[in-house]
Structure 1
Amino acid sequence: MELIGACDATLLANRSICWLWLGNGKQALSDATMCRMKRPHWPKACYRQGAAFMLLKDYEKAREAFADALKLDPTNVEIENALRECLEAMKNARRTEK
């Protein structure tokens, strides 16, 4: 049973990135959220969710997801870079609001 859940999570993570590539943030987020429910301690699930939130310009939720991913995989450079880009996007968004 655990293997099936892991396979489902992998499929959802892969489909989520496909939605991201197609520019469909809502579908990407839906798949990433389901993926994270199936494997909550999988850094890739958190990362995919963060990427979907970035596409939707929900930078605070993206930051939370990337931070969760980094807690699970603290040496992952790709996650570090995504979090850094997210923080920069948050800063830029605040500047344009003023």
Structure 2
Amino acid sequence: MDDSQAGRVVLTHSTHIPGLIPILEKLALHPQVKTLTPAVIGPVRSHSPKLQLRVSVPIQGGFKLIARKGKTAQEVFAITGLSQDQLKAEIATLLKSSRR
């Protein structure tokens, strides 16, 4: 795959945090994002009224992201050439535009 092609969102689970997939599909359009894979989903103690998506830790070839909404969290693995700061900025822009 060359850099001009859009990345892809891998849907291996049947359950996702509400609103997560549209954000990931928009993020996958960035030329340096190769693959976004939503993974483990589970309950958390605190409540997050709005969808949050934050960069967690580096992984080989990218970063692990944590999506949160309500009392649910979901891991998302991002394979990307973006730096951590660039990825944070791109996510912030997408979340901001989705709340308008």
Give the alignment's TM-score, normalised by structure 2.
Answer: 0.30
Which structure is richer in relative contact order (CA contacts within 8 A, separation 6 or more)? 2
Give the alignment's TM-score, normalised by structure 1.
Answer: 0.30
Quick check: which one's strand share is greater?
A: 2
Quick check: which one's helix share is greater?
A: 1
